[in-house]
Structure 1
């Protein structure tokens, strides 16, 4: 062992009473309390703001830091960049209807939900998401309205599909070619509803739940033909 190392060990023991590695002090932060407050205000106001935009915002108050420093400081405050959940765009009427449905069926028996077939249509983008998004959020806030990306149905560059599922698993899936008219909808239900009920082993008292989309119009008649009576939500 080199003499310099021995001398350093003896010196540390005499000064600190230990030869263990001592905790190092962190480098002084470049983000002032005022800058931190501005960061938190910006992120609270707009969770989708980027670290580069935050960097420019701090530059306006003459605070120059790397964007990685901004990300670290937000992380210390419990805010992390996360891919936002994509959920249907809901207006006040939609929200009110869903809350009403949930309250109405709050005390329904478990057996009802185990024998319910849920159906809906959705759009699938053919080439994936065109733009990547991130939001700054804390844990357990993924489904807050400001932290999600609202989606709307029907658009270009995509394919429409009809699908269903139950508590026991997913049912059949059907691709919708062209406009969803009554005849097309009846054909989809005829070819997929009852086979899915059989595959998922639902009881004879099974219930069909269908999303009441405004574009459905008189297609509810097709549901009646397939089941005998729909329960819309």
Structure 2
């Protein structure tokens, strides 16, 4: 972002896109894109990407970890049902497996 702010700063000083590109050693298309984004949105901040948000909240992850530590012989299906009764999360067994794998719990 430091480059983007320098890019905008140079533009406000009436420098051309070619001069800014040469000064900052970045492509002209990048300079042009940053200036266009700044003009349209008023900022050069990165917006959140599209896609479905995570189903598991931080509370759900803590409950999942607690459930697995308490009884490690449970199946993914029974863990999903336990999470549904404990904190009201409607998650699938695949999500449970994926989250456990991400936490480093295998098998």
Could you state the TM-score of these two structures normalised by the residue count of structure 1? 0.25
Map of 1:72 onto structure 2:
98
Instruction: Provide closer, same or farther for how the CA distance between residues 26 and 70 of structure 1 changes in structure 2, counting only shifts above 3 A.
Output: farther
Q: Show structure 1 runs of 5+ residues with no match.
A: 1-11, 17-23, 82-233
- Please state whether the residue corresponding to 2:52 is helix, strand or coil: coil
Alpha-carbon distance between aligned partners in 1 of 2:93 and 2:78, rounded to the nearest angstrom: 9
More helix, by proportion: 2
More strand by share: 1
1:45 and 2:63 matched:
no
- Number of aligned positions between the proteins: 63
Structure showing greater radius of gyration is: 1
Displacement of 1:27 in angstroms is 3.4
Q: Residue 28 of structure 1 is aligned with which of 38, 50, 53? A: 53
Measured in 2, the distance between the counterparts of 1:64 and 1:41 equals 17
Alpha-carbon distance in 1 for matches of 2:33, 2:98: 34
**SS of aligned partner of 1:80:** coil
Q: What is residue 26 of structure 2 aligned with on the other side?
A: none
- Match among 15, 22, 28 for residue 33 of structure 2: 15
Residue correspondence of structure 1 range 84-123 to structure 2 within 5 A: none
Q: Which runs of 5+ in 2 are unaligned?
A: 1-28, 35-48
| Alpha-carbon displacement from aligned partner over 1:1-53 (angstroms, at most 9, x marks no partner) | xxxxxxxxxxx85436xxxxxxx666321111111111101111111111101
Task: Point out 4+ residue stretches in structure 1 off by more than 6 angstroms.
Answer: none
Q: In structure 2, do the counterparts of structure 1 residues 75 and 26 end up closer, same or farther at CA, with 3 Å as the change threshold?
A: farther
TM-score normalised to structure 2 length: 0.51
Cα root mean square deviation, aligned = 2.2
Q: How does 1:115-194 map to 2 (within 5 A)?
A: none
CA distance in 2, matches of 1:25, 1:72: 21
